[in-house]
Amino acid sequence: VKQLPVSKNPIEVRQLSQSFNRLLNRLNQKIENEQQFVSDASHELRTPVAAIRGHVTLLKRRWHEHPEIIDDSLSYIDEESLRMKGLIENLLTISRGNHLEVNKEKFNLTEFTDKVVSEIQPALSQKITFNGKSEIFVRADKMSLYKIIIVFIENAGKYSPQDSEIKVKISSENHQVELQVADEGVGIPEEEKINIFERFYRIDKSRSSEIPGTGLGLAIAKQYAQLNHAEVFVTNNTPKGSIFHLLMESIEN
Ligand code: ADP
């Protein structure tokens, strides 16, 4: 056992004990966060597992007399297992934290974003428009940026009316590039703007609504942003909705 420094000076003893307590509190907080993560993750996984088990039981009991339920149940099981797969992938991403692998390379962010927008457009009922100077170069991990842009656009789609518009914009100034995804949706109250980037956090309205989600998307976006020395945050759109921002360094062509 390592010998702790012994001091008879009461001021020194008090300082030492204060810093020891601070360390202990930080450690306790970390353990509590980890326990909360495991408990939230288990809770999220329980729902699709229960649904799959329910349908398997139903199939086992009734497929002889009612073969027509087979198709329905199988597609339900298929859907739920896909949801579970996505959830597990997200959980792994979150738990790897700063140890995620990134492969930085130089590329044109405008061209890249344009492609991502065209790829996701068919999956959304809203119209996505894209605006950006033709050449803005960054040095970053493409996969990270892909994930961040997808989370922003998918959320814009989930939390805004079907016939509204989603505007994606890229601008640059003083070696800084900013990517924005603006929607005309429900918006985010001021006091929730930091919380939504925490893992498993969902604003109560979306938690109780029919909008599917686990509260991991923005936590993953924040994690990928940090790995690329970028920043993510949200502001209000006027007159309605939110604007999600990604801010990072740009480089010369
Ligand atoms: P999920 O969408 O799976 O719940 P996210 O981490 O992506 O998880 O988002 C966390 C929460 O932030 C959402 O549950 C929702 O309440 C809120 N949110 C995210 N994007 C938007 C948006 N574009 N407009 C309004 N609320 C949003």
Look at residue 1 and tell me whether its pLDDT is greater than 60.
no
Query: Considering only 11-20, 102-111, 159-168, 173-182, which range has the smallest mean pLDDT?
Result: 11-20
Retrieve residue 178's tokens: 């900013």
Q: Which two tokens stand for residue 60?
A: 């086992």
Q: In terms of C-beta distances under 8 Å and separation of at least 24 residues, what long-range contacts does 43-48 make, across chains too?
A: 44/87, 44/200, 44/214, 45/84, 45/87, 45/88, 48/80, 48/81, 48/83, 48/84, 48/87
Does the pLDDT at position 205 exceed 60? yes
pLDDT tens for residues 48-91?
Answer: 999 999 999 999 999 999 999 999 999 999 999 999 999 999 99
Task: Give me the pLDDT at residue 5, please.
Answer: 66
Give the number of the atom of ligand 1 that is nearest the alpha carbon of residue 160: 24
Residue to mutate (ligand 1; options 128, 158, 243; most atoms within 8 A of CB): 158
Q: Is the pLDDT confidence value at 4 over 80?
A: no
pLDDT (tens digit per residue) in 178-189: 999 999 999 999
pLDDT at 92: 93
Confidence label for 161 from pLDDT (cuts 50, 70 and 90): very high
Closest CA to 4 of 24, 22, 13: 13
- Alpha-helical (H) ranges within 121-187 are 142-158
Kindly report, residue by residue over 31-40, the tens digit of the pLDDT.
Answer: 998 898 899 8
Per-residue model confidence (pLDDT) at position 12: 87
Asked if residues 148 and 176 have their Cβ atoms less than 8 Å apart, the reply is: no
Question: Does the beta carbon of 221 sit less than 6 angstroms from any atom of ligand 1?
Answer: no
**Against a cut of 0.80, is the pTM above it?**
yes
Mean pLDDT throughout 128-141?
95
This model of the complex carries an ipTM of: 0.99
Nearest CA to ligand 1 atom 2: 213
Interval between CA 169 and ligand 1 midpoint (Å): 20
Under 8 Å between Cβ of 242 and 164: no
- 195 CA → ligand 1 middle, Å: 10
Share of the chain above pLDDT 70, in %: 96
Higher pLDDT, residue 75 or 10: 75
Which of the listed residues 197, 206, 237, 246 should we mutate to test ligand 1's pocket, taking the one with most ligand atoms within 8 A of CB?
206
pLDDT at 3: 65
pLDDT of residue 213: 87
Mean pLDDT along residues 130-155: 96
Q: What pLDDT band is residue 2 in, cutting at 50, 70 and 90? A: low
pLDDT at site 98 = 82
